[in-house]
Structure 1
Amino acid sequence: MKKVIIISLISLLIAMISCAAGASNTPDNYNIPQSFDFGKNYYNVYGSPDLNANIIGSNEFDRDQTATLNIDIMNKGKLLGFKNDKTPYDSDEIYAAQTEMKLESGIVDATNVVASLSTDPGSPIEVKSVSQQIGSIKSGENSPAPAKFDIKIDKKAKAGEYNLYLNLSYDYQKNVHITNPNVAAQTYDVSHWYGIMNQNQTLKIKVKDQVDFEIVNTTGSLSPGGENMIDITIKNIGEEEARNVKAIINPADPLSTTDSTAFLYSVAPGSTAVAKIQIKADSEAVPKVYGVDTVLKYENPEGDIKYTDILDAPVEVKEAGFFEKLFGWI
């Protein structure tokens, strides 16, 4: 009969602590230590750690940006109550019960905290850092130092919010057992029963609206030794208007130009503009498609001057025809 009662008490304790932990937590219990005697347990304590995370500073980033996220973790765990399980009868047992109650408050502390960060499949956000050891976080306190995760925003990421999933795995104290109490000597032995808990939290970051360009078409061609007007069609594939846009063209041998800039003025999101550039091909140019480096200088809506990365404009040099070879015409 006694064995049945002890088993029932174990089941009840596990169930009540698990419920107190909340639906977002997934406990995975360690084995109960062999020295743990529930028949000498004076109190059942209810509560658990409750870790909450926040991104420190701005959560807004540009596409094609590499950044370090600093994540602060706070333990908001609370004691939910005590329940008397066994009445102490002599001075040593009273001392043991008082000591147990003091130590039982550690149920709300998280120890050996490990943090990991992940994203949705196919997300343009890449987490480049591995899991991190955070240490222990007592109830009411913050992590000793922020968790740091390096992330990379894809250069083709669309503006908007994206989810990051923070997993926090840690140990917590489930129960305490006091043995060999001696009130006169103020000594005792203690056994701890620990469990494992996982908490998951969704953090959000934002890819900002911005200007973004791509070259969508190039018209016009050259022959070796010839010169022609080349039209480079540029599209604003971003979310913001670009103002005072100037295309800066830098062809490399065997191509050259005497007019390396073209003014495009304002280009709204989704709109195109054409940069017209006079380009010459060297007489020794091999017929093929050449990439012409193109950089766009512009102002964003805040008035900041920006430059794009180098864009590649394809320009074809064709083999000279009969009349071109005969007279040098283009």
Structure 2
Amino acid sequence: MDIRKCILLSLLVIALVVPALAGVQFLYGKPEMSAVISGTNEFSPGVETPLAIVVSNSGTNPIMEVDPTKITPQDPPNLAKLVKVGLESGDAPVEIKSDPQMLGDIPGGVSKPVTFVVKFDKNAKASTYDLPLTLTYQYVDWNEQEKGSTILQTDYRTKTETISLPVTVKSDVNLEVEQVETEHLNVGTEGYLKLVLKNVGDEHAGKAVAKLVPDANGPLVPTDGSVYIGAFNPGDVTTCVFKVSTSKDAEPQTYPLKVVVEYEKANGEKGTSDTEVVGVPVGGKIDFTIVSTASTVHPGQKATIEVTYKNSGSAMAYNAQARISAVDPFTSNDDTAYLGDLAPGESAVARYTVSVDKEATLKNYGLDSEVRYRDALDNSQISDTMKLTVDVVKAEGLGAVMSNPIVIAAVLAVLIGAGYYIVRARKSK
């Protein structure tokens, strides 16, 4: 190998080794921060949603110096340190529900996500608004190293900058319930729910349909839960009447129920309004009680017992019919009685004819009784089962005598003899 090749090889080795050992400094550079909303930036009035934002640092270090006598700084000038991010509402009709968040260090060419929970006002008008995003961070201002020293001094500057993030409130049907009324809606029955709805949004809706949304765990069940509205333009007010049934296990109180409007936008797209929750008052159930005293019957006899039923509930019962369940020692071919229409607090008397077995034990018996009736919407209903008390007692006086079989046989014998005597006397004449 000649001398020239040896010199070139030595220079190449020096060129490769010196940069690795030398100090590297960037003479110029700084963070360049930006932020954008990830995903859609269009939202409906009244919606609460997480808002995903991506914060990026596009800063570069264009000029680099390699000096074997200098110390390499710990942080490059384009590094954004201790980045803190806060979102504000500005003039937008929105509430920011998340506090400012720390993102840490963001080097040049790196992006980091952050999420804030926001809620747009229910009455927000359709428009585009700017949400101010505030970034606070530190970056290298200058580095200083005295000649021949092994100490490097670095000074950091704190910077706060605001980035505007545009969000759009969509034109939508914004639903407002102006009035809630019920009719004949009681525990265990079906009734009407009347809602007065207003479109306080900006969307000109067509083919609109109002719908009730039941609560899976609630006692209210829509039996006719859709009402066609048609055109439902901004400012329009419409009255919708729904049929709703109430569980028998409910209590007389106010229960929540949701209502929503589905419609067609001017461009043909399908749309759904915000969901409104309304309080639906439910009255007490229709109930019956037996208010008469116990009836008394005798073994081996047929008797008519009278029972007084009272509507102790909170609503009208129509075409009420009472019935009893005759069990041993009772039998009956007349176990149903018509009571008619009974308003709350009204009473009616039912009469049943029963026969008592002659071997019946003398004691108090309880017979099951119930009332079948119709509610205000002509639905057939059955009351809770009631206990009718019947006392079986020993017959006394003339009744006891006439119930004795020997006496009955003697009376029959006398009657037969008397009849025979009368017939013979007539023939002899």
Return the offset for 1:199. Answer: 2.8
Return the offset for 1:150. Answer: 0.5
Opposite residue 293 of structure 1, the aligned amino acid is K
Does residue 287 of structure 1 match 2:252?
A: yes
The 2-side partners of 1:153 and 1:256 are apart by: 33
Distance 1:200 1:155, change over 3 A: closer
Residue in 2 that maps onto 1:135: 106
Q: 1:66 aligns with which of 50, 71, 74?
A: 50
Does residue 168 of structure 1 match 2:136?
A: yes
Between 1:267-276 and 1:315-324, the stretch displaced more is 315-324
Residue in 2 that maps onto 1:197: 158
Opposite residue 299 of structure 1, the aligned amino acid is E
The SS at the match of 2:224 is coil
Distance 1:255 1:132, change over 3 A: closer
The 2-side partners of 1:233 and 1:171 are apart by: 59
CA contact (8 A) 1:117 1:149 kept: no
Return the offset for 1:178. Answer: 4.7
Spell out, residue by residue over 1:142-174, the C-alpha distance to the aligned partner (whole angstroms, 9 max, x if none): 3x2x23111222153625414223223123041
Residue in 2 that maps onto 1:147: 112
The 1-side partners of 2:121 and 2:194 are apart by: 25
The 2-side partners of 1:177 and 1:219 are apart by: 82
CA contact (8 A) 1:209 1:238 kept: no
Distance 1:155 1:57, change over 3 A: closer
The 1-side partners of 2:226 and 2:81 are apart by: 60
TM-score by length of 2: 0.49
Distance 1:195 1:128, change over 3 A: closer
Q: Which is higher, the Rg of structure 1 or of structure 2?
A: 2
Q: Which has the higher contact order (CA 8 A, sep 6+)?
A: 1
Distance 1:250 1:194, change over 3 A: closer
The SS at the match of 2:171 is coil
Does residue 115 of structure 1 match 2:84?
A: yes
Instruction: Extract unaligned runs of 5+ from structure 1.
Output: 1-44, 80-94, 181-187
Residue in 2 that maps onto 1:53: 34
The 2-side partners of 1:111 and 1:229 are apart by: 64
Does residue 316 of structure 1 match 2:285?
A: no
Identity of aligned residues (%): 12
Does residue 235 of structure 1 match 2:198?
A: yes
The 2-side partners of 1:154 and 1:52 are apart by: 26
Opposite residue 198 of structure 2, the aligned amino acid is K
Instruction: Extract unaligned runs of 5+ from structure 2.
Output: 1-25, 285-313, 317-341, 347-372, 377-429
The 1-side partners of 2:271 and 2:280 are apart by: 26
Return the offset for 1:99. Answer: 6.9
TM-score by length of 1: 0.61
Return the offset for 1:128. Answer: 5.6
RMSD, aligned CA: 4.0
The 1-side partners of 2:214 and 2:158 are apart by: 61
Return the offset for 1:262. Answer: 0.7
